[in-house]
Amino acid sequence: MQKRTLGNSNLEVSALGLGCMGMSFSYAPFPDKQEMIALIRTAVDRGVTFFDTAEVYGPFTNEELVGEALAPFRGQVAIATKFGFKPAANSESRWSELDSRPEHIKQVVEGSLKRLKVETIDLLYQHRVDPNVAIEDVAGAVKELIQEGKVKHFGLSEAGVQTIRRAHAVQPVTALQSEYSLWWREPEGEILPTLEELGIGFVPFSPLGKGFLTGKIDENTTFDSSDFRNTIPRFEPEARKANQTLVDLLSAIAQRKQVTPAQIALAWLLAQKPWIVPIPGTTKLHRLEENIGAVSVELTPDDLHEIDSTASRIAVQGARYPEALEKMVGR
């Protein structure tokens, strides 16, 4: 497995990480916990050294899963987790209440350390920007945690350019985690140039469009009743039908290279910048193997030009989030 360094930091990780959220959150039905522990450990065997979780996934159960699975590999892997939501009894309020007060951040970190079974969190992200708390105060709280040895690196998620700059001035930001894929290219406008200027790494989540870019989902696909994708406008049947054109493009290139559409989608992301580390999530061993295989897929300048020129003529249909979540991004 190739390695990459996130920005100007000394955080070196595998070129592809593993997003663990779907193992216990958002994408029901959830698999057996022991199966997921085995999957995470297989990922380590295959060279993956970067694992992503969050307090709110579950809440709490995903951190516990990741902590148990990675306990034998302390010092060999990097675990990223997140603070910033106020976990609640029902899923609706879980997503709507933000809390990045410094005292809350410190309280969350104590819980995360226990669940992850570590003495230090490798990378701690603010999950979403809290408009009620100055980002300088957030960065200052994480800076104190770094000085105390409880956190190594500071990250932001779905933050806008000005927030990134203000946070970075207080405590250097190691990585920004935001959605980025061939069907969500908004970060190319202002975000990527800002990260390059400041020396911040980029960790794209949903690099496979929440599964759509794998080519295994069409307008007739049905999801579990509690699957998060049921709430996303981009996953309405009509939108899926319209967006199939993008998958057709990936499939055509994949066929030519004798790989899969998912591998082309990930290879395209990896080719954008050397400090980009995608974190596709999966609960299936064959998908894990497929995703890891993307690291060795070579896309020539001609391939990349073909993808870009064709994709630029495709208007992706449907918002990427329901309205309540859309309000929380890009602040």
Residues annotated as catalytic are 57
- List the alpha helices (DSSP H) in the chain: 33-45, 61-70, 91-96, 102-116, 135-147, 161-170, 191-198, 237-257, 261-272, 285-293, 301-311, 323-326
Instruction: Report the DSSP pairing between strands 173-179 and 201-205.
Output: parallel
Characterize the bridge pairing of strands 12-14 and 3-5. Answer: antiparallel
Q: What gap in Å lies between CA 80 and CA 282, rounded to an integer?
A: 17
Residue 279: both structure tokens together? 């974190």
> How many CA atoms lie less than 13 Å away from 114 in the CB half-sphere?
7
Looking at the DSSP bridge assignments, the partners of residue 173 are: 154
Q: Rounded to an integer, what distance in angstroms lies between the CA atom of residue 6 and that of residue 240?
A: 33
What 3-state DSSP class applies to 259? coil
